[in-house]
Amino acid sequence: MKRLPIIAVAVLWSVQALAVEGNAKRGQTLFQNCMACHSLAADKNMTGPSLSGLWGRKAGTVPSFTRYSDALKSSGMVWDDQTLDKWLADPEHTIPGNTMTFRGIADAQQRADVLAYLKQATQPGNAQMAQQMPQMGGMMRTSVPNLKKLDAEDRVQSVGYCKDTYEVTTADGKKHKIWERNLRLKTDSSEDGPTKGAPALVPAGMMGDRADVIFSGPDEIGAFVKSNC
Ligand code: HEC
């Protein structure tokens, strides 16, 4: 009889520990779910804002990120262990009307793991280290590839258009014929984007039938793409 309370306390304690203790190593792997949209480097914004310096920051306040929803900006949320846990559990209902297209992480332990990792990795100056940490497999891209220095086979010289087909000529002399629905014309004006006058041909999609041509800015698109039937 005497031992019962001790067991009860021990069980309670371990349940509580499970709920709050995150494993940063497991969290790094789980952060793959975020990496397509979020960088940890300061002011490196992708689909979502950079997460650098996240703890203690008011939601929607990275000055260099220009695509925040009004919902997030006016949420009054300040990011800490509790608010981030709530947000990641159910983004849609935590801040209704936000534009993060991510379902959330239902498992409390997994959220604790991601947050344990993020708490370290989002500290200013830690991003470099975080991204150099060993990663599993070759699937993980921490960010978009830099397009400033391109091999001849990736450097676009001209883009012709006839009927339903784009013909992309690259600097190695090759001509790539691509169905118009399979080619996307994009721009990247950031430091990772291509040099002016040297757009990049980038394979896209899992099947190998799609491609992007990425220009340094929208003005270049008209200059490069010509109808030539
Ligand atoms: C498909 C892209 C996408 C994925 C995946 C994604 N996010 Fe986001 N995230 C966004 C966008 C876009 C916003 C801005 C939303 C808005 O303004 O309403 C955002 C906002 C945030 C914010 C608020 C930032 C701020 O400056 O206030 C945090 C924190 C965040 N995301 C964390 C995460 C984490 C952690 C993951 C992975 C578990 C993740 N996100 C997955 C796109 C994404």
CB 67 within 8 A of CB 77: no
CB 203 within 8 A of CB 189: no
Distance from the first to the final alpha carbon of the chain: 92
pLDDT, tens only, 200-221: 999 988 777 899 999 999 999 9
pLDDT classification of 19: cutoffs 50, 70, 90: low
Report whether residue 77 contacts ligand 1, using a CB cutoff of 6 Å.
no
CA of 62 to the centre of ligand 1 (A): 12
pLDDT attached to residue 73:
97
Mean pLDDT throughout 185-204?
A: 94
Report which protein residue has its CA nearest ligand 1's atom 28.
51
Residue 183 to residue 203: CA distance in whole angstroms: 9
Q: What are the tokens at 199? A: 């757009």
Q: Are strands 225-227 and 156-162 parallel, antiparallel or unpaired?
A: parallel
pLDDT at 54 over 90: yes
Closest CA to 34 of 95, 137, 112, 114: 114
> Which of 28, 30, 33, 37 has the most ligand 1 atoms within 8 A of CB, as the residue to mutate?
37
Give the lowest-confidence range in 24-28, 82-86, 132-136: 132-136
Report which protein residue has its CA nearest ligand 1's atom 23.
59
Atom of ligand 1 nearest to the CA of 60: 27
pLDDT classification of 136: cutoffs 50, 70, 90: very low
pLDDT at 98 over 80: yes
Spell out the long-range contacts of 148-154 with Cβ–Cβ below 8 A and sequence spacing 24 or more.
148/191, 148/192, 148/193, 148/194, 148/195, 150/194, 150/198, 150/200, 154/200, 154/201, 154/202
pLDDT at 114 over 80: yes
**Exposed (0-12), middle (13-18) or buried (19+): which is 169, by Cβ within 10 Å?**
middle
Q: What is the set of domains in the chain, with CATH numbers? A: 4-132 (1.10.760.10), 152-227 (no CATH)
The single-letter code of the amino acid at 167 is E
pLDDT at 226 over 70: yes
pLDDT classification of 126: cutoffs 50, 70, 90: confident
More confident residue, 57 or 7: 57
Specify the 3-state DSSP secondary structure of 83: helix
